[in-house]
Amino acid sequence: MLRFTSNSNPYFILIFFSIVLFSAESSSPLTIPEIGDGVIPWNDWTSGGKVGNGKTMVLAKERTCRKDIFNHFQRYDGGWNISNTRYVTSAISTAVPFFGAAVVWFVIFVLSLSLICLCYCCFPVKGYGYSKSAYALSLILLIIFTVAAIAGSVFLYTGQGNLLGSTSDTLDFVVSQAELTTQSLKNVSGYFDISKQIGLGANVALLPSDIQVGIDHVKIQIKTAITTLSKQTAENSDKIRQGIGRMGLALMIVAAAMLCVAFLGFFFSVLGLRFFVYFMVIVGGILVAVTFILCGGFLFLHNVIGDTCVAMDEWVLNPTAHTALDEILPCVDNATAQESLIRSRNVTYSLVNLVQMFISDVANGNTLIYAYNQSGPLMPLLCNPFAADLTFRNCAAGEVTLENAINVLKNYTCKVSSSGSCITPGRMTPMIYAQMAAAVNVTYGLYRYGPFLQELVDCTFVRKAFTKISNNYCPGLRRFTEWIYIGLVVVTVAVMLSLIFWIIFEREKRHRRRTKRYISSVINKNSYKPVQ
């Protein structure tokens, strides 16, 4: 039969308040939201002005509409914006109940310990006897809570390791996208540089001066875009890595400390080392308060990650609007992208015209002014992918595309004498072919980067990146923060209840030892017979 003496009343008080505290925490509206919560159609956005064409769009408006206790409990309606103090404080507000739980627990813990100490001092144990059922039940519960603390610590450790890995993979992907974009911009800038130096023989002029001036201007803009994109992405990535790294380190320390406390508390209580048991109770009580705070911190982190993923999904529907997501992976300035695209088409059009002029007037020409003894079949003209208004055009019959131009035109190269004239049939000398090949290479390079520049104009490259993050990385980030959150709650509750039963079991064990000694002394006394 389960029986506790009157001296065990403080334990019931401590257990009661602990259960009430945990029940209040479980019943509070702190459910982990789904990633898809709060998604609204893009045409229902009504805050922040009209979207698109340089306007500002509010992201995850409904999901982030939370009461901000730091702003007189007013609802925050500014949408996702990690750099906005009001957004951060509204997200922190969801974790405040955990912070309050830490304070309430600490107060209850101190009062309960004081009450237990008072009972020990004012109501000393008299007589002998202990409850076998109470002793066995307290041991069983102590084992269960210790195992639960170990399981929670393992879950917590696994979750934080996976979170760090998933966060690192996500940031590596974002940085790689930024680096790929900046490298492509550098390549475009390099092609612009080479295009200014293109010439064919001594008779065909370089690019017109107005085009060269335009190239110089767009190169400055590209350089600025490269600097902004690289710097902003790297800085934000470093900040996130540092924040997650510090939080991960704190979790590892807490998980190790909780695991150590659970083991030592169980070990000392089993051995009946009262002083060490009470010491571990004090340490465990403090750690429980710390883990309550960490629970709130990871609920905040979980909400922010969920908000970010929803914001990405909504932004993908309208990628031309300016939003706070520019701080993660910014779009290239639209004016820069537009001018780069137009300038690349202009240079491509001009270079192809340059090559066509040479082929028509020099290589295929029959005048003696430009003669170097060229002969043989006439060279085909190069296909210009753009019309005079820089719109796309289809190649005419007989024209050679940029992709095949170098290999086709090579067939029209002759062998030359020491004077530089052709001694075999052909329309170009090797030197002229090398110059033409360079011109075709630059032209095809700029033409090949046309789709990339078009993606810069409508920010398609960022839309693709955010879509991939939302589909491939967001589920893992949400899942692992949820693991950590659950692990923290399990560890907190397990250690919170364990430290209660450390005291109960140690006290029952001490009663058991005293009773056994008493019974043994009575038996020895009754069995003693004086010699007659």
User: Does one domain contain both 225 and 369?
Assistant: no
User: Does one domain contain both 111 and 190?
Assistant: yes
User: Does one domain contain both 367 and 499?
Assistant: no
84: three-class secondary structure by DSSP? coil
pLDDT at 119: 61
As a whole number of angstroms, the distance between CA 416 and CA 182 comes to: 43
As a whole number of angstroms, the distance between CA 28 and CA 97 comes to: 8
**Within a domain: residue 530?**
no
Contacts of 351 (CB under 8 A, 6+ apart): 195, 198, 207, 439, 442, 443, 446
As a whole number of angstroms, the distance between CA 47 and CA 58 comes to: 6
As a whole number of angstroms, the distance between CA 395 and CA 116 comes to: 93
Contacts of 110 (CB under 8 A, 6+ apart): none
pLDDT at 526: 62
As a whole number of angstroms, the distance between CA 447 and CA 402 comes to: 9
Q: Could you tell me the two tokens for 467?
A: 């879509």
Q: How far apart are the first and last CA of the chain?
A: 45
- Asked which of 426, 458, 490 is the last residue of a domain, the reply is 458
pLDDT at 413: 92
Provide block-wise average pLDDT over 10 residues at a time, the chain (532 residues).
Answer: 37 34 35 31 31 61 86 85 84 83 78 67 53 77 86 83 84 84 87 81 66 84 83 79 78 81 83 79 83 81 84 77 66 79 89 87 73 87 90 89 89 89 89 88 89 80 83 85 82 83 77 69 60 48
**H or E element: which one contains 204?**
none
User: Does one domain contain both 173 and 116?
Assistant: yes
User: Does one domain contain both 389 and 507?
Assistant: no
pLDDT at 213: 84
User: Does one domain contain both 339 and 318?
Assistant: no
As a whole number of angstroms, the distance between CA 364 and CA 375 comes to: 8
User: Does one domain contain both 110 and 24?
Assistant: yes
Q: State the DSSP code for 426.
A: B
User: Does one domain contain both 341 and 302?
Assistant: no
DSSP character string of 41-82: -GGG--SSS--STT-B---STTTT--EEGGGTTEEP-S-S-T
**Within a domain: residue 528?**
no
367: three-class secondary structure by DSSP? coil
**Within a domain: residue 1?**
no
143-to-264, 280, 447, 494, 505 alpha-carbon distances in Å: 12, 16, 71, 10, 11
| CA angle (65 as vertex; 61, 71 as ends), nearest 5 | 130
Torsion of CA 173, 178, 179, 185, to 10 degrees: 150
- Asked which of 458, 484, 507 is the last residue of a domain, the reply is 458
C-alpha count within 13 angstroms, C-beta hemisphere, residue 33: 24
User: Does one domain contain both 445 and 478?
Assistant: no
415: three-class secondary structure by DSSP? coil
For residues 469 and 463, is the Cβ–Cβ distance under 8 A?
Answer: no
For residues 13 and 112, is the Cβ–Cβ distance under 8 A?
Answer: yes
Number of H helices, E strands in the chain: 12, 2
DSSP character string of 483-529: HHHHHHHHHHHHHHHHHHHHHHHHHHHHHHHHHHHHHHHHHHHHH--
For residues 193 and 216, is the Cβ–Cβ distance under 8 A?
Answer: no
As a whole number of angstroms, the distance between CA 69 and CA 52 comes to: 33
32: three-class secondary structure by DSSP? coil
Nearest to 447 by CA among 313, 344, 525: 344
Indicate yes or no: pTM above 0.85: no
**Within a domain: residue 532?**
no
What phi, psi does 191 have (nearest 5°)? -65, -40
**CB atoms near residue 2 (< 10 Å):** 10
**Within a domain: residue 526?**
no
pLDDT at 415: 92
User: Does one domain contain both 348 and 319?
Assistant: no
The boundaries of the domain holding residue 446 are 334-458
- Asked which of 408, 423, 458 is the last residue of a domain, the reply is 458
For residues 329 and 231, is the Cβ–Cβ distance under 8 A?
Answer: no
User: Does one domain contain both 25 and 76?
Assistant: yes
DSSP character string of 134-194: HHHHHHHHHHHHHHHHHHHHHHHHHHHHHHHHHHHHHHHHHHHHHHHHHHHHHHHHHHHHH
How many domains are contained in the chain?
2
**Within a domain: residue 177?**
yes
User: Does one domain contain both 62 and 211?
Assistant: yes
Residue positions counted in the chain: 532
**Within a domain: residue 527?**
no
| CA angle (307 as vertex; 305, 308 as ends), nearest 5 | 65
490-to-417, 485, 497 alpha-carbon distances in Å: 88, 9, 11
**Which string of b and e fits 363-382 if b means at least 16 CB within 10 Å?**
bbeeeeebebbbeeeebbbb
